[in-house]
Amino acid sequence: EDQVTQSPEALRLQEGESSSLNCSYTVSGLRGLFWYRQDPGKGPEFLFTLYSAGEEKEKERLKATLTKKESFLHITAPKPEDSATYLCAVQPGPNKLSFGAGTTVTVRA
Amino acid sequence: SQTIHQWPATLVQPVGSPLSLECTVEGTSNPNLYWYRQAAGRGLQLLFYSVGIGQISSEVPQNLSASRPQDRQFILSSKKLLLSDSGFYLCAWGSAYEQYFGPGTRLTVT
């Protein structure tokens, strides 16, 4: 069964303190690894898609990387506005995504 | 540009009552549409998806159903709500590669 596990569940950072979030996955035939950001009380917002091991994508202070078994979301010098829940997902079949439970990041000024 | 609407934003319903949540998309034709539920502290659970009018795929057997009466309209329904149906319901459009989510409906079943 396809599975996505994210760690840690919660991460509290000081502004400027870089850190990484982990997403480990088991899926038969990876069609893509996806990262979303979700603010409280809102729908998730698409961030990145990674397709193959070794691939990296960047957006502002965020960088996503992918290996054969896991993906990392690196947050460099975070700001309070980076506080959110970050979700990763894989595609277990055509037209659908399977999401992890997310990592809630809190950045204090 | 594309816009996705959901209503109502919040809903409090008693156990055993019916449910109807509506989602509409503007600015795109024949989109794939999705219904997700997010329980407190948990990830998104895919409930239904649709690749066209009248075409519904169910991912989780339960007391919910979905319908797509028009190209850009997706409806989530229940005849009798359970306490376990409480959660944050999200509609999305797009593909498995990139999905765009609506603002969500917070449902509390009492």
Every domain of chain A and the residues it spans = 3-108
Round the average pLDDT of chain A to a whole number and report it: 93
pLDDT at B61: 64
Distance CA A54, CA B33 (A): 31
CA closest to B51 among chain A residues: A95
Q: Is residue B43 a contact partner of residue A102, using CB atoms and an 8 Å limit?
A: yes
Do A43 and B42 lie within an 8 Å CB cutoff? no
Distance CA A22, CA B72 (A): 36
Do B96 and A100 lie within an 8 Å CB cutoff? no
Has residue A2 got a pLDDT over 70?
no
Has residue B56 got a pLDDT over 80?
yes
Has residue B102 got a pLDDT over 80?
yes
Has residue A1 got a pLDDT over 80?
no
Distance CA B19, CA B30 (A): 25
Sign (positive or negative) of CA dihedral B25, B8, B36, A83: positive
To 5 degrees, how large is the angle CA B34–CA B103–CA B59? Answer: 20
Do A91 and B90 lie within an 8 Å CB cutoff? no
Residue range A86-108: mean pLDDT, rounded: 91
Residue B63: which of B6, B16, B11, B21 has the closest Cα?
Answer: B16
Burial class (CB in 10 A: 0-12, 13-18, 19+), B12: exposed
Q: Is residue A66 a contact partner of residue A58, using CB atoms and an 8 Å limit?
A: no
pLDDT at A93: 76
Q: Which fold has domain A3-108?
A: Immunoglobulin-like (2.60.40)
Q: Is residue A67 a contact partner of residue A50, using CB atoms and an 8 Å limit?
A: no
Token pair of B54 as six digits: 């009248």
* Domains, chain B: 3-109 (2.60.40.10)
pLDDT at B97: 81
Distance CA A60, CA A58 (A): 7
Query: How confident is the model over B10-53, as pLDDT tens digits?
Result: 999 999 999 999 999 999 888 999 999 998 777 899 999 999 99
Per-residue confidence band for A27, with pLDDT thresholds at 50, 70 and 90: confident
% of chain A at pLDDT higher than 70: 98
Could you tell me if B39 lies within 8 Å of chain A, comparing CB atoms?
no
pLDDT at B1: 79
Residue range B105-109: mean pLDDT, rounded: 96
CA distance, residue B14 to nearest chain A CA (Å) = 22
State the CB neighbour count (10 A cutoff) for residue A93. Answer: 15
Round the average pLDDT of chain B to a whole number and report it: 92
